[in-house]
Chains A and B, each alone.
Chain A
Amino acid sequence: MPRDPHPLYSAARAKYEKMVAEVPSKKADFQYIGKSMPRYDALPKATGEAKFTRDAQLPGMLYAKFLTSPYAHAKIKSIDTSKAEALPGVKAVLTYLSEEKIPGIPIPVKDIKTPTGDYTVGGLPFIPQEANWEGEFVGAVVCAESPEICDEALKLIDVQWEELPFATNVEDAMKDPTRKKLETGWKRNLIVSDFPNYKEDETYDVDKGLKEADVIVEGSCRLHQFFHAGSEPDSALAKWEGDELTVWIRSVTQHIARGSAALGSSLGIPGSKINMVYLYQGGSFGQNQLLSAQAARLLIASILFAKKTGKPVKAIMSRRDYYYGGEAEGVYNFKIGVKNDGTITAVKGEFLIGQGAPGGYGSLWALADHVANWVRYDLKCPYESHYLSYETNTVPKWWTRSEQNQNARFLQAVIDRAADALGMDPAEVYLKNARMPEPSAKAVIEEGKKRIGWDTKWHKPGTKILPNGKYHGIGFYFGHSWGNYASTYINAALRVAQDGTVTIIGAKPDSGVSAQTTYAQIIADEMGVRFEDIYFSPTSETKYGYALQEDGGAASNHGNSWAMAKLGITARKKVLELAAPKLGVKPEDLDMKDSVIFVKADPSKKIMLKDLGTTFTVEASVGGYGWSEENVYGIFTPFHCYQAIFAEVEVDPDTGQVDVINMVSVYDIGRVLRRASAEGQVYGQACMAVWRAVLQSDLIHDPLTGVRLNADLLNTQVSTCLDCENVDNVALMEVGHADGAYGNTGVGEMNIAQVCALISAVHNAIGKWVDPPITPDRVLKALGKA
């Protein structure tokens, strides 16, 4: 029996439908939407002309650098900076003991805390006395004429350390009863009554489900801690003019509309006097939320020193400093009940998470909510989870690409292990047990199967040896984005100039695959202007008050599509009103295409937009729209991006090497806005997955000291194009209807489905379960050869 929709759902649904009425949704005949117009950032990035925050230079600029902890956990007993201060070229040194108040900043230096915001633990000391991971900024920060002098000065600081016990992984953390942890869990799973409305399943009974099973599968698997190694290490440049502060910052690519206020609050200065400038930005894969503790420290240092010295100051991280953040470590224990026909009757899960040190994503609770929460939507059977998250003495964690990677990995293990226990095709077991929305799920799975030849290629694990002596394996995973929601109030503007050019105005960091170009394509279609007459700068600043949606990463796609649609439609209406008297007709008699306004009944009567000789600006605001408005955890999000991944590998049984020979990624994203951008996101996910799955991608710590051993680009083996030759079989489908203005949804915030498909494929090859990264040592160990 269908149940009554949740009242929140009804309210959100009504609002959504009102918006749909305002904007023509999913029109078929667009000139630009769905195409791949040239990226605004292509030439600047290809030629090196693009200036990143790291490149920013101002006359008389000074530099700042932090002392970093050589220990995984240590407290400073005493500090002497006199030698550093005496070094020629050093302008100032601040320490955790500094009681001074910098002019204009009402809080003593030692009491300044990092800003608090969505997804970011704030309130940590700007200059801590105690370091919780090797490499954490601690004790002191210096300002000097050059980065080299900063380095020399840091070496001259005399520190007496008290080393403290540490744990860099979950197992070690669990041995320490005093370690901070969070314990929670879920006792009910959710079911869909009338999709997309979820209800708690009142017939839930895990123990009964386990009793009904023919086979009980118990096991354990893991996901390793991983850092994305983005291209641009953090830096921040600050300049004061009177009490107006301008900061050039690399670190914030999401929540930018809130950055100034949050930063102002932490310093006791009005956010209205802070302008944040975003130049070109290196990839951060969802990590750069409001401000991490490390990035905040960098930013605050540049601000304080700039005020103190009266000069612009750039605070910088080294490449090694930049190895913070990334994916948390997860160990998952599971008990699965399954019937002989492949029906899973119940699942019990235990999540053990190594959360890293404070200063990353939200809190232990926030991650727990995300991690243990979501599997319950995906399984039809009763599901129960127990969750333990530990603080560990390693880098603070966020996630990479999606916060749902832990769930995705767990779910893959459940399906794959159940299938394995019965000798069944995992795709079949998946279809039988997962709660999947139609028609998207079947569409992407069918397309993927066809593309890879699943029905003829799948075999029982460990049974196919190729003529080259290697094991053949093929794997599958179905995934989806999780809870794309839009909670930011989007406020954007469009300026039409008398020369007929159009400028999109709205702070938008350089994240995604040139989203600016995507948005310009929408304006071109909705307004009826030539694409080449539109510009949306890849760089921006916040002082004009306009800012686009950035929350939730990929949510920006559908959130901003509404704003762009509204801008285009409003501007077009205005243009037609201005042109009507000139052409002697009513506005409704006019149309505009390719920047030419013409009379619909007689297209020979026309006027060029530029010949109107007018200048005006229109605005569009979109806020809290859509079905997910009232619940940021996306319970009402009607449509995600759905993905089916199929992967083939060859495993050399004598060296343990895994070659990825084929990968098919099929995504239903409702509507493609800019094809190359969407395909680029998927291809990027596939390339990163090769790295995460089969290359050295674990962040490795020395067991005796907790020092990060591979915090560099050589020893974290980022996959290059040559390592990903066969993973570009990407299909974008437009089957479902998402909640963007054109039925679109984002494609960037996808979980580790490709990694999961590779884990599955390796198992299919050798008949053994190997946790990622599936490096030769692990494969050979699984095969009993090492």
Chain B
Amino acid sequence: MRSFIHINAKTVDEAVSLLTQYGKKARVIAGGTDLLGTMKDEIHPTYPEVIINLKTIEPSLEYIKEEGGVLKIGALTKLYDIEASSLVKEKYPALAQAAHAVGSPHIREMGTIGGNLCQEVRCWYYRQPGNRFYCVRKGGPVCYAMSGDNRYHSIFGGPFGCYAAHPSDTAPALMALNATLVTNKRTIPIDKFFHDLAGTVLEDNELLTEVQVPTPPAGAKQTYIKFRIRKSIDFPIVGVASMIKLEAGTVSDARIALGAVAPKPIRATAAEEKLKGKTISEQVADEVAAEAVKGAIAMSQNKYKIQITKTLVKRAILA
């Protein structure tokens, strides 16, 4: 691994000021489980000169608390602490399930919620060591997966021609739970946080500091279902999160989010609309699931992801 300058930030302000100073030459580090891999493999055309450590920030950004009916999770909270939190398990089980579904115990004890949301996409062209494929996501001319091996790529390709898959487990869960994300500058609804090509809408000197989740409405059921080939440790082939509110046996509100099927986590809004006002049954679940993949376009090798997405949406509705 190449050398770099490592700075321990003592406050959020200091981290932001360092980000302002170094701009694109700097990257922030928390658990480092994604960042260090990208650096070791030198997947990007440029290499960060400065790494700003957020773990030294005081007061710590590592906390889980509930204030005024809102769950507040510091960006540096470890995934293991989230899955183990009785508060999260009890009131926000979809998030606990999603945190538990990440990587392995070792990774969850290092990786943070902020990092899980801000991690880079999965694509073996994008991540090939030594920037071997200068693809559209890096500013290059094409997406190599389109004519290459795309078995793990998106079925909802981005508007910018990138077909990578966004691997976060917690993002779809937080999307279903209608979370908002707090930075040093603003509060962003999670639906607006991700970007097809840039990953997130965070500016160069903007830092994610907190995740806020409103208390789920009474009568709402929620779940996160992850499909992966190697169950012990893997990124999702598809992840589906849902929060469905039932009133008198009828769906009054529904949020369904899909992970790993697009370059960013997405809402299945048409499916949500179709579900509203219905009584849940196997047939309704089938119809809604079909709606969720209506816009999906398979490439040469990933048609199976459409079938799996459909299955998972159905199972999330029936869960």
Summed over the interface, the residue pairs from A and B with CB atoms below 8 Å come to a total of 85
Distance between Cα atoms of A417 and B89 in the complex (Å)? 50
Query: Is the Cβ of B227 less than 8 Å from the Cβ of A655?
Result: yes
Distance between Cα atoms of A286 and B1 in the complex (Å)? 31
For chain B, residues 134 to 169, give those with C-beta under 8 angstroms from any C-beta of chain A. Answer: 144, 147-149, 151
| Residue of B129, B147, B229 most packed against chain A (CB within 10 A) | B229
Contacts of A707 in B (CB 8 A): 128, 132-133
| Residue of B133, B232, B233, B234 most packed against chain A (CB within 10 A) | B232
For chain B, residues 229 to 247, give those with C-beta under 8 angstroms from any C-beta of chain A. Answer: 229-234, 237
* B17 interface contact, C-beta 8 A: no
* A18 interface contact, C-beta 8 A: no
Query: Is the Cβ of B233 less than 8 Å from the Cβ of A777?
Result: no
Query: Is the Cβ of B124 less than 8 Å from the Cβ of A715?
Result: yes
Distance between Cα atoms of A775 and B229 in the complex (Å)? 7
* B311 interface contact, C-beta 8 A: yes
Known A702-B148, A709-B128; judge A717-B307 contact (CB<8 A): no
User: Which residue of B has the minimal Cβ distance to A779?
Assistant: B304
Contacts of B237 in A (CB 8 A): 776
0/1 interface trace, chain A 683-726, chain B, CB 8 Å (1 if under):
00000000000011000111110010110000101011111000
Contacts of A715 in B (CB 8 A): 124
Out of B3, B132, B232, B304, which one reaches A722, CB within 8 Å?
B232
Contacts of A723 in B (CB 8 A): 230-232
0/1 interface trace, chain B 1-18, chain A, CB 8 Å (1 if under):
111000000000000000
Distance between Cα atoms of A775 and B227 in the complex (Å)? 12
* B308 interface contact, C-beta 8 A: yes
Query: Is the Cβ of B230 less than 8 Å from the Cβ of A777?
Result: no
Query: Is the Cβ of A709 less than 8 Å from the Cβ of B124?
Result: yes
What's the least CB distance linking B304 to chain A, in Å? 4
* B125 interface contact, C-beta 8 A: yes
User: Which residue of B has the minimal Cβ distance to A152?
Assistant: B2
Query: Is the Cβ of B311 less than 8 Å from the Cβ of A655?
Result: yes
Contacts of B144 in A (CB 8 A): 702, 704
Query: Is the Cβ of A717 less than 8 Å from the Cβ of B147?
Result: no
Query: Is the Cβ of B307 less than 8 Å from the Cβ of A720?
Result: no
Known A320-B129, A703-B149, A709-B128; judge A151-B304 contact (CB<8 A): no
Known A654-B311, A700-B149, A775-B229; judge A780-B304 contact (CB<8 A): yes
Query: Is the Cβ of B234 less than 8 Å from the Cβ of A702?
Result: no
Out of B1, B232, B311, which one reaches A148, CB within 8 Å?
B1
* A457 interface contact, C-beta 8 A: no
Contacts of A657 in B (CB 8 A): 227, 229
Out of B148, B230, B303, B304, which one reaches A695, CB within 8 Å?
B230
| Residue of A709, A717, A719, A786 most packed against chain B (CB within 10 A) | A709
User: Which residue of B has the minimal Cβ distance to A694?
Assistant: B229
Contacts of A709 in B (CB 8 A): 124-125, 128, 148-149
For chain A, residues 437 to 495, give those with C-beta under 8 angstroms from any C-beta of chain B. Answer: none
* A781 interface contact, C-beta 8 A: yes
Known A148-B3, A696-B230, A719-B230; judge A785-B149 contact (CB<8 A): no
* A426 interface contact, C-beta 8 A: no
Out of B147, B232, B311, which one reaches A704, CB within 8 Å?
B147
For chain A, residues 49 to 101, give those with C-beta under 8 angstroms from any C-beta of chain B. Answer: 70
Main secondary structure of the interface of B (DSSP, over half): loop
Contacts of B256 in A (CB 8 A): none
Query: Is the Cβ of A695 less than 8 Å from the Cβ of B229?
Result: yes
What's the least CB distance linking A284 to chain B, in Å? 22
Main secondary structure of the interface of A (DSSP, over half): loop
* A656 interface contact, C-beta 8 A: yes
Contacts of A656 in B (CB 8 A): 304, 307-308
User: Which residue of A has the minimal Cβ distance to B104?
Assistant: A720
Out of B132, B147, B148, B229, which one reaches A776, CB within 8 Å?
B229
Out of A704, A710, A786, which one reaches B303, CB within 8 Å?
A786
* B86 interface contact, C-beta 8 A: no
Query: Is the Cβ of A720 less than 8 Å from the Cβ of B232?
Result: yes
Distance between Cα atoms of A720 and B304 in the complex (Å)? 25
Query: Is the Cβ of B304 less than 8 Å from the Cβ of A786?
Result: yes
Distance between Cα atoms of A148 and B130 in the complex (Å)? 14
Query: Is the Cβ of B230 less than 8 Å from the Cβ of A717?
Result: yes
Distance between Cα atoms of A411 and B229 in the complex (Å)? 28
Query: Is the Cβ of A780 less than 8 Å from the Cβ of B128?
Result: no
Contacts of A703 in B (CB 8 A): 147-149
* B301 interface contact, C-beta 8 A: yes
Out of B128, B231, B301, which one reaches A777, CB within 8 Å?
B301
Contacts of A320 in B (CB 8 A): 129
Query: Is the Cβ of B149 less than 8 Å from the Cβ of A781?
Result: no
Distance between Cα atoms of A148 and B2 in the complex (Å)? 6
Contacts of B124 in A (CB 8 A): 700, 709-710, 715
0/1 interface trace, chain B 266-308, chain A, CB 8 Å (1 if under):
0000000000000000000000000000000000011110111
Distance between Cα atoms of A270 and B23 in the complex (Å)? 59
Contacts of B301 in A (CB 8 A): 777
Distance between Cα atoms of A715 and B303 in the complex (Å)? 20
What's the least CB distance linking A133 to chain B, in Å? 15
Query: Is the Cβ of B234 less than 8 Å from the Cβ of A717?
Result: yes
Distance between Cα atoms of A349 and B132 in the complex (Å)? 41
0/1 interface trace, chain B 82-100, chain A, CB 8 Å (1 if under):
0000000000000000000
User: Which residue of A has the minimal Cβ distance to B231?
Assistant: A723
Query: Is the Cβ of A785 less than 8 Å from the Cβ of B1?
Result: no
Query: Is the Cβ of A776 less than 8 Å from the Cβ of B308?
Result: yes
User: Which residue of A has the minimal Cβ distance to B303?
Assistant: A786
Contacts of A781 in B (CB 8 A): 303-304
Out of A148, A152, A655, which one reaches B308, CB within 8 Å?
A655
Query: Is the Cβ of A655 less than 8 Å from the Cβ of B307?
Result: yes
For chain A, residues 119 to 169, give those with C-beta under 8 angstroms from any C-beta of chain B. Answer: 148, 151-152
Distance between Cα atoms of A656 and B312 in the complex (Å)? 12
User: Which residue of A has the minimal Cβ distance to B312?
Assistant: A655
Contacts of B232 in A (CB 8 A): 719-723
What's the least CB distance linking A481 to chain B, in Å? 29
Ordered by A's residue number, 12 sampled pairs between the chains whose C-beta atoms are within 8 Å are A148-B1, A655-B227, A655-B307, A656-B308, A696-B230, A704-B144, A704-B148, A717-B234, A776-B229, A780-B304, A786-B306, A786-B307
Top 4 A-B pairs, shortest CB-CB distance: A786-B304, A722-B232, A777-B304, A717-B230
Known: A152-B2, A776-B227. 14 other contacts (CB 8 A): A148-B3, A151-B2, A320-B129, A654-B307, A654-B308, A702-B148, A709-B124, A709-B149, A715-B124, A717-B230, A719-B230, A723-B231, A776-B237, A781-B303
